[in-house]
Amino acid sequence: MLDVVVLVSGGGTNLQALIDAVESGAVANTKLAGVISNNRNAYALQRAEDNGIPGICISPKEFASREEFNERFLDAVDTLQPDLIVLAGFLVVIPPAMIEKYRNRIINIHPSLIPSFCGTGYYGLKVHEAALKRGVKVAGATVHFVDEGTDTGPIILQKAVEVVQGDTPEVLQRRVMEQAEWKILPQAVGLIAAGRVKVEDGRVFIRE
Ligand code: GRF
């Protein structure tokens, strides 16, 4: 059984997609062991509660220093003993010690086709604003392992989504979520739970 801890900051629609996929059996051999949010008001925490998943709030704002937060945050994650950590719209920088300890066991969903529109400053609606400004005709989402860089880790899955003339950032964001994020995030967790994902030389190989 793959014990998964999901880190969130906001609405939690990707968390919901995971909950639904585990519930329906589309993602097998997986247990959602906890949800951690840095934002007490995140609707994602409500989704966790509604589904009987333990929810915790821990915010850098509650600590005198970032070092102190990082330590306590890592403790909170360790206590849940995850096999996999999923960043689903988590807006806090992951402590280096956590990346080291959970190497190739932390995944992130990013709302673009990496390496386009990623890295520092590209989060949330900003990604879609930049894509529309550049005039790309294809957008999409990426699930990748987390390493020390920003959106630089090994790519697990990507899915393309069409950009439609007249799209606003909000409309494109919604289409990318519906057609890509909510599909490939549960799919990636399922592949990992099935032991089919291997990282070699910074690249992901998926066993048939
Ligand atoms: C998603 O667009 C995700 O790709 C990005 O943050 C957003 C989170 O949305 N990293 P939600 O909280 O899952 O609804």
Give the predicted TM-score (pTM) of the model.
0.97
Q: What is the pLDDT of residue 126?
A: 98
Q: Roughly how many angstroms between the first and final C-alpha of the chain, as a whole number?
A: 20
**Residue 110 host element (H or E):** strand 106-110
> Residue 52: is it exposed, middle or buried by C-beta count within 10 angstroms (0-12/13-18/19+)?
exposed
Ligand 1 centroid distance, CA of 102 (Å): 22
Q: Which of 14, 88, 110, 192 is catalytic?
A: 110
- Alpha-carbon span 176 to 158, nearest angstrom: 11
Name every protein residue with a CB atom under 6 angstroms from any ligand 1 atom. 8, 10-14, 44, 88-89, 109-111, 124, 177, 181
Which ligand 1 atom is nearest residue 90's CA? 10
The residue ranges of the chain whose pLDDT is under 50 are none
CA of 10 to the centre of ligand 1 (A): 7
Tokens 């990318």 belong to: 176
Nearest atom (ligand 1) to Cα of 110 = 4
State residue 202's pLDDT score. Answer: 95
- pLDDT at position 179: 98
Residue 193 is predicted with a pLDDT of 98
Residue nearest to atom 6 of ligand 1 (CA): 89
**Quick check: is 144 catalytic?**
no
Ligand 1 mean position, distance from CA 197 (Å): 23
**Cα distance between residue 31 and residue 19, in whole Å:** 9
Q: What is the pLDDT of residue 31?
A: 98
Per-residue pLDDT at 130 = 98
C-alpha distances in Å from residue 186, one per residue of 65, 93, 117:
34, 23, 22
Q: What is the model's pLDDT at position 134?
A: 98
Chain CA centroid to CA 132, Å: 23
One-letter amino acid of 119: G
The confidence score (pLDDT) of residue 158 equals 98
pLDDT of residue 138: 98
Q: Is 80 helix (H, G, I), strand (E, B) or coil?
A: coil
